[in-house]
Each structure stands twice: as C-alpha cells, then as structure tokens.
Structure 1
C-alpha cells in the first residue's frame, strides 16, 4: 500500500518518468526522510563539528577545543579541586553535611545516579572500542586525562545549578543551565545576554533529548535485542516498533512521576549495571592477570608514540578526547539539570558530587573496557563502525555468554539514558513554554512517540543532527560558566575554610550574613 501511494504521488508530479516513479516508490521510509532532511541537518552538523586541519591526516574539531579549553581553565582556576576535593565528594554522597529537611527533592546519591544514567552507556561500551580502533591503545590514556579534567567542568556547572535554581510553592525544583544563565548573568549585569544564552541552551537541549537522548538510544537497544539468538529468527526482526512501543510504555510509566520517580529507578539500575559490567571486566582481567601490566604499558606507550610519531600522538590524543567528551558530557550542561533538585542549602556540595561523574564514567568504566579490549587484541583491524560488537568480542574471549549480558546492559543503559534525558528535555521545554501540567504532559507524550519512531527507523541524518545539538549546548553553557566561575570559587573557598576549621559548612550567602551579624554585634561566627 505504501509503495502504491508513493508511485501514484510520483506519477502525478510533472517531469518524472515512470521508471523514476518506481525508484521513488521502492525507497524505504527511512531513505525518503533522510533524503528530505539531509541537506539542512548535514549543513548544521558540519558547522558544529567543523575542524581545524592540524596535519595532512589529523584535524581537530573546534567544538572539542572549546570543551577541552573550558575543562583546563576550570581545573587551573579552582586549583585542581577535582583532586583536592575527592574525599569531600565521597563524604557528601554518603550523607555527610546533609540535612533531610534541606530544600530540594532528592538525595546527593540519587542526583549522582540520575546524572550517571544519562552518561554511562553506549559511549563506554562502543565509544572506547571505536577510539582504540582508530587511535590505538594510547587513545584510552587521553580519554582518562579528558575525564580527569572534565571533573572540574562538572564541579562548576553542578554547583551553579543549585545556586540559581528555583523552588515553587509545591517544592518542585527547576534548575540547570537555563536558570544559572538567566539568573546568574542578570546578577552579573548581563541580563539580556543571559536570556539569549538560556533560550539557546533550552532549544538545543530539547532537540538533543529527542535525538541522541532518545531515538539513538532505543535504535541501538533494538538492534542489540534482535541480534539475540532467541530473537533473530522471530517476527520482531521486521517489527522493531513493537520493541519501541514496549520501551515507550516503560519510559512513560517512569517519567510521569517526575524526578522522584526517575531517581527511584536510576538509583537501582545505575549501580547494578555499572557493578555488573565492572565485575565482568574484572573476571576477564583476572583470567589474563599476567597480561594486565603489558596492557597498561601499551596504553602509556601508545599515548606518546605511534605511526609517524608526532602525527600518531596527536591522532590518539584527539580520538581519546573526542570519545571522552561524547561519554561524560562535561561542559555540555545536561548533568546540571539532574543535580539541581538535590536536598541542600550549600550549592557547592553538589559541585563536589558532580565531579565524581567523569571519574566513574570515563576513568573507571572506560579504563576497564580498554584493558579488556587490549588484552583480547580485538581492536586490531577492527571495523570502527561496530564498536559494540568489538567490545562484545573482547569480553567473549573469556565469557562466552557475554553477548547476552551485553544485550541486557545495552537495553538498561538505553532505558536509563532515555529517562534522564526526558527530564533534561522536559525542564528545558517548561522553561520555554511554562510550568503547567498540560505543558509537561505534552512533552512527555511527544518524547514517548519518538521512542517508537526511533526503534523502527534508521534516521542517520537526524541522529547526526541531534548529536550536533547536544555538543552545541556547550557553547551557551561554557560562556555562562566563564562569567560565573568566580561565584563557584567563592562558595568553594567558604566550604573548604569551614571544613578546615572543623566547622559545619555553609553557603557563601550564609557566611556573608554571619559576617554582617558579627560586625554588628561583635559576636563570633559559630
């Protein structure tokens, strides 16, 4: 029926032959949609990922330089807070300095798992494999470096998300880059610029939530699902939309309950899937324990050597940084939305918690994946377009049933990513269109519809476009972070000084109020 309709439509158009009409009719829905939107999406994608040619063989994406520069600036400006404050971050996650009666909706641990659910996923499974297939083992070294630097970027954006959030009369929190860009920039005297940056971020975040945070995730999960031996001969192979419909129903059931419902799921799924994945990696490394030192040596040597020496180093470095940026999203601003509802009166505490994300996501999970792939040798001559299969092959060298475990992990990763990105997109949607329940439900319905569409179609043009939108979020976000990083440093210094003097931590605003009281009454700050 679809072919007949397309054929009649084509024949009704002047200047087209019956043969051309037949060719149009035989094209799939995916192909027709891709052809229609590719000129526009391709131009935008090329612009966002435009490159500076470094050598004849090496080009550096401008957006990567933008993200990496931000991470380095914040690391230096805050005097390597991601390392100095690591112990504090762990203590805060465990509940230290937390009062159950503090304003907010979720705990520090729940905020961390909600944000991790949006980053730990296909980037850790497929991204590492792709990086090593292109840049060799040394690429994983630069992924680790990028993850460590990215911790500082997460520190800044998560602290600001709490600092400038709003809480309505029902206790519902609205926060994230939209709010610290608009409210924080206004505080700095740049209200107009702040509004423009906030609106731009919100639009880009909505687009990214439908594409990279939704359609891409369910599409990859559906592909992995139908590849299972018990599934690949069933009718589901030709009806991926059924898988998408089931996922849409499950996602819908979770996101209808808001952030409290989302974190109840993520605080169970994220620790489970990370621990399961890491245990599988430890088993593989344990069986090949004698090869682990050689694997680490390959990572170090590959980071500082390679074909044509200098070109090889730069190539490995760029690929490592690029995949790390895709994996942990440091500087993108998305995670700040998940951290904003945390229960606390001290904004900087969530900066410490947020800094743990790139460490878990990139330093721990990605490194484990890299070691397994190096030991297996699966990356040598591998097809860079099939990262998941490469990782699966590497693990299967010891765990022959790992492909089944990986399929479960991919589906869980995709599910958790979708529910987190639905929240990011929702908050951006409500920032632009209002906070009424009908406005929120409209977005949630559209999001679930896109899950079904994403599972059934292979819209490469849309996926590339959505990735571009996610990375473009870093442009307005980082501009705001540069303006507002002194605010974070002030909050950080107050916190660290209080802890050093064995006093309960307070916010910079509370410290200023106490100083004012002290000046007026001559009382000591307690």
Structure 2
C-alpha cells in the first residue's frame, strides 16, 4: 500500500486516466470519426491536392478577418501536434502496446483526418469574438454561435478542461529528461533535482520571449520552424532506416501481425493495444480534442471548407508521416525491448545505437525544436480558454502560470503527467465531438455549395 500522499494522488490520476480512456471515449473518438468519414462520403480525401493548394496560399486574402494565413494556421496547429507526442508519445505507445499499437495509430489518424475536417470547418463557420472584439474560433465559440447560449455550460466545460490540457507539463518534462540524459553527462555533470530546476528555468525564459508576443509572433516562429524540423527529422530517421534496412520489412510485418493478434511479449490483448494506439494518436495529432480548431479559427480564411481541408492535412503529416518515422526507427533498432528505459529515452536509444557519439546530440537538437514549438503554441490555446471564461485581460496571468508550470513539470514524475494530460484531453474531446456531430449537416451543406461554386468557376475559365 502506498503511504506517500503524492504517490496516492499520482496513482489516482493514472487510474482515472485509464478508466476514462476505456471503451466510452474509444466509441466517441473512433465512432465519431467513422461517422464523419461515412457521412462525408470520403469527400475530404478526394480533394487532398486542393487542400495543398490552399496551404500554398493560392486563395489567401489579407483583407479578410482573422489574424494569420491558412499556412500559418496549419503551422501553428502542427507546432503543437508535432512535438513530444511524435518522439516520446510513439515510444510510450510501443512500450505499452507493442509494435501493433502503430497500426491503430494509423487507423486513428485516417479517421482523425475526417474529424479535423469537420471540427476546423466549424471553427470558421461559427467564429465568435472575444471581449476585445477580435475574431476567435474554437469549440467554445462553435458551441455558443452554432448551438446557442443554452449550450454555454458545454462551452465552459471545454474551456476549463482546456486550461489544464494546454499546460506544458508533458513536453517540459520530456525535454528536461533528454537534456539530463544527454547534455549534462557530456558536460561532466550528474542529473539531479537541482539540474532539472535549472533546465526548467532556462526553458521557461526561452518560451516566455515568444508566448507574451501573442498569436502573430507564435505563428511567425512556427511557420519557420515547423517545415525545418520535419525535414531535419526525416533526414535523421532516414539514415537510421538505411543503416538498418534489412529490418524494415520485418518491422512492418510485426506491426501488422501484432495489430491483429496482440503482442505476446508484452502480454497485451487486442482491445488493450487498440486503446493504446488510439490514445497515443489522439495525444499526437489531437484530432477531436479541440486544440486545432482554436488555431485554425484565427486564420484569415473566410471559407470554412478550405480551412477544414487545410486542417485535414494535420493528422496525415503528424501521424502517418512523422510518427511512423519514429516508430520504425525504434523497431528496426529493437530499442523498445529494453525494459529499463521509457518515454523519450527509447527513441534516444535508437539514435545512439545507429549514430554512436553524435546521434544523441542530434536528437537533443531535434527534440529541443519540437518541444519549443509545442510550448509556444499550447500557451495560445490556454489563453484562448481563459479569455473565453474570464476575459482577455487575464491572458497574461495564465501565461505566468504557464511559465511557472514548466519548472514544476521539469521535476515531476512522467507517469502522473501523462495521466493528467490524458484526462484533460479526454474531457476536452466530449464537447468538441458532441458539437461537431450535431452541426455536421451544416458542414456537409457548405461542402456541397463550395465545390459546386468551384466547378462553375473552373468551367467558366
């Protein structure tokens, strides 16, 4: 029996997280996503190339309301999803559920593309404004503008959960871990609570420089760093795959095999592996959680359908591309089979095995960029929630709490932190998915009208 009160609290968080992420939430996220996929008749996927054209700025109009371009909105959304979930979250998924968890992450991402299409289309269709008169989007505004004021408790529920879900505790914790594991030994220092506090303080200073500048500064940094970090990570993992090329096909075979049968080594049932895959995919690409609609709601795009198509690219880039790179690197090097390591250290082990001497430092650099861009964006989500609840004048207060929580996270336990974020994401997904399902006919009608107009213009030209 655990006597330490902090350990009891941590265990209670973990237990509640496991309970809430069982069958009911699986039905909500996967079932809701399948509903969107079937109800749209796969329409978002048919216009994948059109979505790319929108991201490239073909339809941008600087005179529209909103604060940033469609590309910067996608970059901002990706800067939160392309983070520790892609490096540490994937490692956790494979450590908990075996290689088969990756397959269910893929399935969740494909379904999540339809979910993001609907939720982010609605973030433009039912854009509201804050008490400063600035146009804002996100599930809370969708609920208020689309469903009416009698649904306000649901909008408040989302915003309260969002205050906790937007905290930087997971990312800050994992960034601190990798710096303690790699950087300090190279400088002849031993990791300790003191070193974690110092690292947390340095991270908080770097983050504060950006987050106090608001969405425009965040989007400016994100639009520059996101493409760079994806390319760099792709090249680094590609090298690992070239070195271990003989293991690539067996790794994919193991992913498919374990996804259908469960993993004998870890003793996981098929149902448990599906839950792990969906849970970690939701943490990674955030489809159905409600964070991305807050970023896309700030876009200058006036066409809800266009913004939905742009948002749809998020889960594809995040999970199908980046998470797969991480997972295969972990599998071909067998680093996931070491029972003494967990989280980001599993991915670190894959880099060290393949690139002795410099692999660890390369991953530290990549992790730092991934983590910092995530930390920039999550502060924006939190200020949106507090602005909706209490007014925009309290945004800076949230940012101060946000910065302080980075230091606290640096010295906290990973398992408790993962549980707390999972609970917050689960609670955020309820109002996001419920409102999107109710308003989905509006999106279908807008989709039909948009492509009809587009075909008429194309024919005329």
Fold in common (TM above 0.5) = yes
Aligned residues of 1:231 and 1:237 also touching (Cα < 8 A): no
**Which one of 388, 407, 416 corresponds to residue 452 of structure 1?**
407
What is the CA–CA distance in structure 2 between the aligned matches of 1:222 and 1:347, rounded to whole Å?
39
TM-score of the aligned structures, taking structure 1 as reference length:
0.80
**Which one of 368, 373, 377 corresponds to residue 420 of structure 1?**
377
Q: Secondary structure at the match of 2:392?
A: coil
**Which one of 282, 293, 299 corresponds to residue 255 of structure 2?**
299
How far residue 466 of structure 1 moved from its aligned partner, in angstroms, is 3.6
Quickly say closer, same or farther: Cα 1:441–1:129, change in 2 above 3 A.
closer
Quickly say closer, same or farther: Cα 1:46–1:456, change in 2 above 3 A.
closer
Aligned residues of 1:105 and 1:171 also touching (Cα < 8 A): no
What is the CA–CA distance in structure 1 between the aligned matches of 2:80 and 2:204, rounded to whole Å?
17
Q: Deviations over 1:411-453 (max 9, x none)?
A: 22222112111111101101011123xx222221221122222
Aligned residues of 2:174 and 2:344 also touching (Cα < 8 A): no
How far residue 251 of structure 1 moved from its aligned partner, in angstroms, is 1.4
Aligned residues of 1:100 and 1:343 also touching (Cα < 8 A): yes
> What residue is the counterpart of 1:388 in the other structure?
344
Q: Deviations over 1:282-317 (max 9, x none)?
A: 112223334433333332233233568x97544443
What is the CA–CA distance in structure 2 between the aligned matches of 1:472 and 1:272, rounded to whole Å?
33
> What residue is the counterpart of 1:478 in the other structure?
433
What is the CA–CA distance in structure 2 between the aligned matches of 1:493 and 1:162, rounded to whole Å?
16
**Which one of 367, 370, 394 corresponds to residue 327 of structure 2?**
370
Aligned residues of 1:49 and 1:62 also touching (Cα < 8 A): no
> What residue is the counterpart of 2:19 in the other structure?
50
Aligned residues of 2:173 and 2:411 also touching (Cα < 8 A): yes
Does residue 255 of structure 2 align to residue 272 of structure 1? no
**Which one of 436, 443, 451 corresponds to residue 496 of structure 1?**
451
Of the structure 1 ranges 466-475 and 347-356, higher mean CA displacement relative to structure 2 is found in: 466-475
The aligned runs of 1:228-267 (5 Å cut-off) are 228=183, 229-231=185-187, 233=189, 238-267=194-223
What is the CA–CA distance in structure 2 between the aligned matches of 1:462 and 1:397, rounded to whole Å?
28
Q: Secondary structure at the match of 2:76?
A: helix
Aligned residues of 1:236 and 1:242 also touching (Cα < 8 A): no
What is the CA–CA distance in structure 1 between the aligned matches of 2:190 and 2:294, rounded to whole Å?
40
Structure with the bigger RCO (C-alpha within 8 Å, sep 6+) is 2
Q: Secondary structure at the match of 1:355?
A: helix
What is the CA–CA distance in structure 1 between the aligned matches of 2:300 and 2:188, rounded to whole Å?
46
> What residue is the counterpart of 2:354 in the other structure?
398
How far residue 47 of structure 1 moved from its aligned partner, in angstroms, is 4.2
Quickly say closer, same or farther: Cα 1:289–1:498, change in 2 above 3 A.
farther
How far residue 115 of structure 1 moved from its aligned partner, in angstroms, is 0.7
Q: Secondary structure at the match of 1:330?
A: coil
**Which one of 110, 113, 118 corresponds to residue 151 of structure 1?**
113
Q: Deviations over 1:151-191 (max 9, x none)?
A: 111111111111122357987332211100111101xxxx3
Q: Secondary structure at the match of 1:397?
A: helix
What is the CA–CA distance in structure 2 between the aligned matches of 1:409 and 1:262, rounded to whole Å?
19
Q: CA RMSD in A?
A: 2.8
What is the CA–CA distance in structure 2 between the aligned matches of 1:268 and 1:378, rounded to whole Å?
32
Quickly say closer, same or farther: Cα 1:462–1:372, change in 2 above 3 A.
closer
What is the CA–CA distance in structure 2 between the aligned matches of 1:182 and 1:328, rounded to whole Å?
25
Aligned residues of 1:93 and 1:109 also touching (Cα < 8 A): yes
How far residue 339 of structure 1 moved from its aligned partner, in angstroms, is 0.9
The aligned runs of 1:309-328 (5 Å cut-off) are 312-328=269-285
How far residue 196 of structure 1 moved from its aligned partner, in angstroms, is 0.8
> How many residues are paired up?
455
How far residue 44 of structure 1 moved from its aligned partner, in angstroms, is 6.3
Q: Deviations over 1:354-411 (max 9, x none)?
A: 111110111001111222222222233x338603222222233322222112222222
Quickly say closer, same or farther: Cα 1:125–1:232, change in 2 above 3 A.
farther
Of the structure 1 ranges 360-369 and 450-459, higher mean CA displacement relative to structure 2 is found in: 450-459
Q: Secondary structure at the match of 2:457?
A: coil
Give ranges in structure 1 of 5+ residues lacking alignment: 1-23, 25-30, 53-59, 505-524
Give ranges in structure 2 of 5+ residues lacking alignment: none
Aligned residues of 1:48 and 1:472 also touching (Cα < 8 A): no
TM-score of the aligned structures, taking structure 2 as reference length:
0.90
Quickly say closer, same or farther: Cα 1:82–1:295, change in 2 above 3 A.
farther
Aligned residues of 2:222 and 2:373 also touching (Cα < 8 A): yes
> What residue is the counterpart of 2:175 in the other structure?
221
